[in-house]
Amino acid sequence: MANLNGFNANEVEPAVGFDPIPAGKYLAVITDSKMKPTKSGVGNFLELTFQILEGEHKGRLVWARLNLDNPNATTVKIARAELSAICRAVGVLAPKDSVELHNLPLVITVAQKKRPDTGEMGNVIKGYAKKDAAAPKGPALGSNGKAPWQR
């Protein structure tokens, strides 16, 4: 049990459900990273939390899971290639700890995909780029038609 003495729901706006963000390119940073065991218990994955920095979806979170410790060599190869893309995008080529990747802006390419467990749509990250590589397109553009950092 947790002590909730002093909390009054009348003083706080209730949380609303979140629909997936639209597919597109977004300026983001990694705000958290954790190594977690896989469901099968025979490996571990690095879970990275990305926070959108600008635009209509500022503050929203998107996650990536990299299977860096897995008996399937192809799965590990894919995860290591994705980690390489992230490292290159943030300019940290040989991190000793995932925290070194935190709070460094990069552009993520987000897509929508149906979740196999619930059938609901969710977000997946399909690519990573340096923040200066290309202006995000679609939802991440500002009202002036430019990416937020190109004012």
- Mean pLDDT, rounded, for 79-107: 97
Tokens for 80, please give them: 């290591």
The secondary structure of residue 19, as a DSSP letter, is P
Q: Structural domains in the chain?
A: 18-132 (2.40.50)
Cα torsion 80, 82, 86, 89: sign: positive
User: Tens digit of pLDDT for each residue in 7-24?
Assistant: 888 988 887 777 899 999
- pLDDT the model gives residue 145: 52
Handedness of CA 138, 141, 146, 147 (dihedral sign): negative
For residue 26, what are the CA distances in angstroms to 32, 98, 111?
A: 17, 21, 11
Tell me the whole-structure pTM to 2 decimals. Answer: 0.78
